[in-house]
Amino acid sequence: MNTTPHYTALLNMYAAAPINQIYNPTMTLSEGHAEIEIELSEKYHHSGGGVHGSVYFKMLDDAAFFAANTLEPEVFVLTTSFTTYLTRPVSSGTMKAIGNVVNQNNSQFIAESIVYDSEGKEIGRGNGIFVRSKIPLVNALGYQ
């Protein structure tokens, strides 16, 4: 793990996001790469007893998003599209999402992510397109 000031500020920004007070995730970053982990709880379950798909999406999107933002030090990136595949149900343990940028150009980043259960089995995957916004990172909550 590389700890540049930009990565440290991204970690602070992620921790400051109000939504993350629900999930209490941990994240590590390196160039074009992000790993996020959460401990599962019944509060994430749908009425069938498994983790709701929105948790999968959040994990996958966050990992891909932050992988992309490691490569953009000036502005906040935005998710413009994201495809999610739920491949296996999970109800307990941990979820770990790993995101990687697979392509970038002057206007966008393409990133993929995979989420795993506590046993290292793939339980979902996704890919998205991220673009540079006009929001300076210094204006993002917690970016410091």
pLDDT at 85: 98
| E strands, 17-121, in order | 26-30, 33-39, 75-86, 94-104, 108-116
Question: 69 is written with which tokens?
Answer: 């933002």
> What is the average pLDDT score of the chain?
96
How many Å apart are CA 79 and CA 143, to the nearest integer? 18
Q: Is the pLDDT of residue 1 over 60?
A: no
pLDDT band at residue 2 under the 50/70/90 scheme:
low
Provide the whole-model pTM: 0.95
Domains of the chain: 5-139 (3.10.129.10)
How many Å apart are CA 116 and CA 32, to the nearest integer? 19
Q: How far apart are the first and last CA of the chain?
A: 19
